Structure formats: structure tokens, C-alpha cells
């Protein structure tokens, strides 16, 4: 029996996208290659993260805010998610920052960072900054489609991907964030970044 279509890992990046290796020298091509690499890493992450653990690592009594910076975690599940995020970061030579976000059931339109890898992701997170209003690219992922977002200062690129549990429900979103190695993304031709579908426009 074959794998049902909805259980196959999606192809978000162009076929053949590698997780390591040289990147193009031209700035626009280079950034598009970075985005494709992050999308492929997000796809591979679906086989690494225990998404049911992502869903359940915050204890039920803490799924609404306990305090401004404190949740009660199920420690074994949280450790499993944390280890998965750290592995994901090491799989790609870009070594992006990684984080998992969840919707706030008590605050429509807001999201909380559940756990991060080696550090908080640079673009949308920081101490004392939660919950956040859901950016368009993150909302696209909560709706089931990966998307990309460029920071206001045009130095950070984030890819957001939906995380589906064993019931096939989107229960969280994975963010992979990379600091661009260009002085100005607009100068590199990134002013036309699309926020839907996870693709940079031509």
C-alpha cells in the first residue's frame, strides 16, 4: 500500500535543493538559494520533530498565559522538542536559528514562541515581547502553506512552515531565520519578496 497523499512530505523547495554547498555569487540568486535551502530544511524537519510533543509540551494549565514570561512545561516532551530543533540547525550549513510558535487560544490573532533552538530567532522574538501579533507569513503557515518574510531593515529572512500532528491538524509553526550577508536586501533585489507560498518573486 502506498503512502496517502496527505501523509507525504511536501515539496516546498525546488527539486534537488541541497542543505549544504556553494551558493550563487550574485546577490538576488544567492538569497533565493538561501530561501530554497531553508524551505528544504523545513521539509526535512517534519521527519525530525516530534510534532505531537510540540503540541503537548506546554501543560494544559499553561496554554493560556500564566505570567508574562513563564509557562509550565512537560519537561521530557520539551527536551525532546529542544533536541529536535538543535539537530535541525546542524543539518544545514547555513546554521539558521529555529523556533516553534503556537496560537494563543485566549488571544485571537496572537502567537507565542513555544521553544527555540540555540537562541531566540532574531526577527520576531525577544525577551518581554510575547505574545506577538501574527505576521502575514506566519499566518500563512498556520493556514497550512509555507511562507517567507523579510525584516523591516532587510537583513533577516525567515521561513515559516506548518507543523501537523498525527491527526493531520496544524498545531504549530516552525520558523527558520537566517541573517542575510548583504548590507541592503533592497540593493540585492529583494524588494519584491512575496509573503505567500514561500517563494521569492522573479
The CATH number of whichever domain residue 74 belongs to comes to 3.30.450.20
Would you say residue 18 lies in a domain?
A: no
Compute the distance between CA of residue 160 and CA of residue 176 in angstroms, rounded to an integer.
Answer: 7
Instruction: Quote the cell numbers at residue 22.
Output: 556553494
pLDDT tens readout for residues 16-68: 888 998 888 887 887 888 899 999 999 999 999 999 999 999 877 656 655 55
State the Cα–Cα distance between residues 97 and 139, nearest whole angstrom.
Answer: 19
Burial code (b: 16+ CB inside 10 Å, e: under 16) for 145-171 equals bbbbbbbeebbbbbbbbbbbbeeeebb
The pLDDT tens digits for 1-16 are: 555 555 556 778 887 8
Q: How many domains is the chain partitioned into structurally?
A: 1
For residue 8, being part of any structural domain is answered with no
pTM of the complete model beyond 0.85: no
Task: Examine residue 202 and state whether it is found in any structural domain, yes or no.
Answer: no
Contact by Cβ (8 Å): 100, 163: yes
* Cα distances (Å, whole numbers) of residue 47 to 10, 89, 164: 11, 14, 11
Which domain does 78 fall in, by range? 26-179
- Residues contacting residue 190 through CB under 8 Å, at least 6 positions apart: 28, 31, 150, 154, 200
- Residue-wise pLDDT tens digits, 76-126: 999 999 999 999 999 999 999 999 999 988 889 999 899 999 988 888 876
DSSP string, 46-59: TTTS-HHHHHHSB-
**With bands split at pLDDT 50, 70 and 90, how would you rate the model's confidence at 202?**
very low
Q: Give the DSSP H/E element, type plus range, for residue 159.
A: strand 156-164
Question: Is residue 104 one of the residues assigned to a domain?
Answer: yes
H-run or E-run covering 92: none
Amino acid at each position: 500500500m502506498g503512502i496517502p497523499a496527505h501523509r507525504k512530505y511536501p515539496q516546498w523547495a525546488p527539486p534537488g535543493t541541497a542543505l549544504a554547498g556553494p551558493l550563487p555569487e550574485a546577490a538576488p540568486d544567492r538569497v533565493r538559494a538561501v530561501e530554497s535551502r531553508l524551505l528544504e530544511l523545513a521539509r526535512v524537519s517534519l521527519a525530525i520533530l516530534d510534532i505531537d510533543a510540540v503540541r503537548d509540551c506546554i501543560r494544559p494549565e499553561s496554554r493560556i498565559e500564566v505570567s508574562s514570561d513563564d509557562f509550565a512545561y512537560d519537561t521530557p516532551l520539551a527536551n525532546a522538542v529542544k533536541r529536535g530543533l538543535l539537530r535541525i540547525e546542524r543539518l544545514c550549513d547555513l546554521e539558521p536559528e529555529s523556533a516553534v510558535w503556537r496560537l494563543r487560544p485566549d488571544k485571537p490573532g496572537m502567537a507565542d514562541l513555544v521553544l527555540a533552538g540555540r537562541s531566540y530567532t532574531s526577527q520576531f522574538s525577544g525577551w518581554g515581547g510575547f505574545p506577538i501579533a501574527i505576521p502575514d507569513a506566519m499566518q500563512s503557515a498556520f493556514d497550512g502553506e509555507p511562507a517567507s518574510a523579510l525584516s523591516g531593515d532587510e537583513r533577516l529572512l525567515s521561513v515559516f512552515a506548518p507543523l501537523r500532528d498525527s491527526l493531520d491538524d496544524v498545531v504549530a509553526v516552525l520558523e527558520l531565520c537566517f541573517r542575510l550577508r548583504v548590507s541592503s536586501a533592497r540593493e540585492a533585489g529583494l524588494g519584491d519578496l512575496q509573503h505567500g507560498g514561500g517563494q521569492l518573486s522573479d
